[in-house]
Amino acid sequence: MAEREQERESDTRSRILDVAERLVQTRGFNGFSYADIAAEVRVTRASLHYHFAGKAELGEALITRYTRRFTDALAAVDESAVDAPTRLDAYVGLYADVLRGQRMCLCGMLAAEFETLPKPMQDAVIRFFDESEAWLESVLEEGRQEGALQFAEPASEVARLIVSSLEGAMLLARPYGDALRFQTAASRLVASLARAAE
């Protein structure tokens, strides 16, 4: 009986996070309230507060879950892709998949509202981008050593350029409802690094 109750609570928590994630990715963190989530999940606001004491705690949990899934996706890319250009293409694909779902990168949306976020959420957003850039930096450095990629700048700067470009390309594709705008910009960016090495 206790096990069934625990499963039900875990399921409710997951549904809350799923709804909140979609709302952040489509409206922004300041664009929804606990009442919006309660109505969609069909729970009381008291139940929401049971799972997440406040919106700030919910936000932290969202970023933690999103970062973990993104990190897992990067690990899967590392396992399946053999060379640096292919891994960079797969990285772009992670962003493209989010955009095709008519959403934005969760942490990109939160970055737009950065000054209004509680400090723990701000720290978590920065950690997401730091981890993403660190992964890219290692892929870029490996690609340069293998001769598959060529660039003059430090790998850390190119990693920042890639993240900034992808987040910006997502943002500009959004009002047009055109994922191809994103894909074109992203593909050209990655191709410019690989083409130089040919």
CA 55 to chain centre: 19
Q: At what angle do helices 55-80 and 84-100 cross, to 10 degrees?
A: 140
**CA–CA dist 122, 60 (Å, integer):** 9
> Model-level pTM?
0.90
CB 87 within 8 Å of CB 78: yes
Q: What per-residue confidence (pLDDT) applies to 9? A: 67
Q: Provide the residue ranges of all domains of the chain, joining segments of one domain with +.
A: 56-195
**CA–CA dist 34, 80 (Å, integer):** 40
> What is the three-class DSSP state of 109?
helix
Q: Band of the pLDDT at 99, cuts 50, 70, 90?
A: very high
Distances (CA, A) of 16 to 47, 52, 144: 10, 9, 43
**CA–CA dist 167, 174 (Å, integer):** 11
Q: What is the dihedral of CA 89, 73, 69, 94, to 10 degrees?
A: 20
For 6-26, give the DSSP string.
HHHHHHHHHHHHHHHHHHHHH
Q: In what helix (H) or strand (E) does residue 183 lie, and over which residues does it extend?
A: helix 179-195
Topology of the domain covering 56-195: Tetracycline Repressor; domain 2 (1.10.357)
CB 121 within 8 Å of CB 60: yes
pLDDT tens digits for range 10-33? 789 999 999 999 999 999 999 999
**Closest C-alpha to 91, from 104, 103, 101, 76:** 76
pLDDT tens digits for range 41-51? 999 989 899 99
Q: What per-residue confidence (pLDDT) applies to 58? A: 97
Say if residue 180 is exposed, middle or buried (CB neighbours under 10 Å; 0-12, 13-18, 19+): exposed
Q: Band of the pLDDT at 82, cuts 50, 70, 90?
A: confident
pLDDT tens digits for range 111-170? 999 999 999 999 999 999 999 999 999 999 999 999 999 999 999 999 999 999 999 999
